[in-house]
Homo-oligomer: A and B are copies of this chain.
Amino acid sequence: MRDPDFTLAAGPTAASARTLAALGSPITYHYDPAFLEAFRRTEAKVGRVFRTDNEIILMQGEAVLGLEAAARSLVRPGMPVLNLVSGVFGKGMGYWLKGFGADLHELEVPYDEAVDPQAVDQYLTEHPETELLTVVHSETPSGTFNDCSLIGPIARRHGVLTLVDCVSSVGGMAFDADSWQLDVCIAGPQKCLGGPPGMSLMSVSEQAWKAIESNPAAPRASFLSLLDWREQWHGNDHFPYTPSVSDIHGVEAACDQLLEEGLEAAIARHENAAAACRAGVVEMGLRLWPKSEDITAACVTAVAVPDGLDHEAVRSHVREHYGVMLSGGQGAGNLVRIGHMGPTANGVNPVVGLMALGRSLADLGVTVRLGPGVEAALARLADSRQA
């Protein structure tokens, strides 16, 4: 089967030609001095992308590896943990935390809402024994976000460590690990950075390291071990296992492009793409999945699938008839997501997803205002160019 003409999904997203060339560059031995330099350069660049001076760990597996590793490293059996739940990934973190023995407490909202930072403050005031707060910055499956710029400082004020899933936000939404006072952050390269999947980009604060090092349950001598990376690689110039040489080149190239563009510019680009996409969705007569535009993520636009249709059928139709690959909700609900991440948060890309979705819904019998929707999206793009 042919590849799609357009990948406008929720990540892995389409990578730039430059990133692909880096992925296809020669594979060297992982202790080749040129590769050692590249690995260290990449760590430094990830730190700049995270806006942090904390230690950077590049775990060599998809972001789920980093999330599991971080949770296992931080959680002691019996540790009181507050988990914020506003979607599938927040919910999943709770299952892990419980499985790792945490004394789990959750603030949960429906999957089309975000957690209120005030509620977090109140909870932590009432539960001063809490040691760790876990939160998903961008809940990719439902296209919403939790405001970590407020939640981070609240947690710090209460002396609570934070574990932040910023997998799909970094590079496309405002993110500032240090000024937001976040302890452990995990991003994926295959989202707004436009890189390959296969790596966990992580930052770990000194406070977090203290907790991890004193945790007898923290993985050691394991693919899941953060401590191995700290001790063997940062302490001893020795990789715990063979790193993914090609992926490192891809991630470095992705960071280079982002830093050359500038973080602010990249974020504005994602926000404009998202705003255009939302404008089109609404004008087309469709419903945005998130309850309010205030909590929509800039990386994907989640659209409720009209009654009587299933997102799988819609997406298959879009892919088969119009060559565009969109995402579903991964369990968050009957929704379709148009990704605008990395290279696809450029130009008219979001409108491509919009018109393919609109025309497909029309094909499937839904009354959509296709033309006006496309016009509204383009008008929004035109405005952002004028600005």
Contact = CB atoms under 8 A, between A and B. Distances in A.
A232 to B, nearest CB: 12
Copies of this subunit: 4
Given A60-B198, A197-B243, A7 B20 contact: no
Looking at A244, A321, A381, which has the most chain B CB atoms within 10 Å of its CB? A244
A233 interface: no
B323 A198 contact: no
Interface residues of A, number: 93
Given A26-B20, A190-B27, A242 B3 contact: no
Nearest to A363: B382
A348 B5 contact: yes
Contact of A21 (B24, B322, B382): B24
A22 to B, nearest CB: 8
Given A245-B196, A246-B198, A247-B244, A65 B223 contact: yes
A28 B247 contact: no
Interface stretch (A47-55, A120-128, A170-178, A367-375): A367-375
A348 B322 contact: yes
A96 interface: yes
Interface string A235-246: 000001111111
Interface in A304-331: 319, 321-325, 327-328
A27 B196 contact: yes
Contacts of A216: none
16 contacts: A3-B34, A6-B347, A6-B348, A14-B27, A17-B25, A23-B24, A24-B24, A28-B325, A62-B241, A64-B223, A64-B240, A69-B223, A223-B224, A322-B347, A370-B371, A370-B378
8 closest A-B pairs by CB: A24-B24, A371-B371, A323-B347, A9-B29, A198-B244, A5-B347, A64-B241, A21-B21
Given A7-B26, A322-B347, 4 more contacts: A1-B34, A12-B27, A18-B25, A348-B356
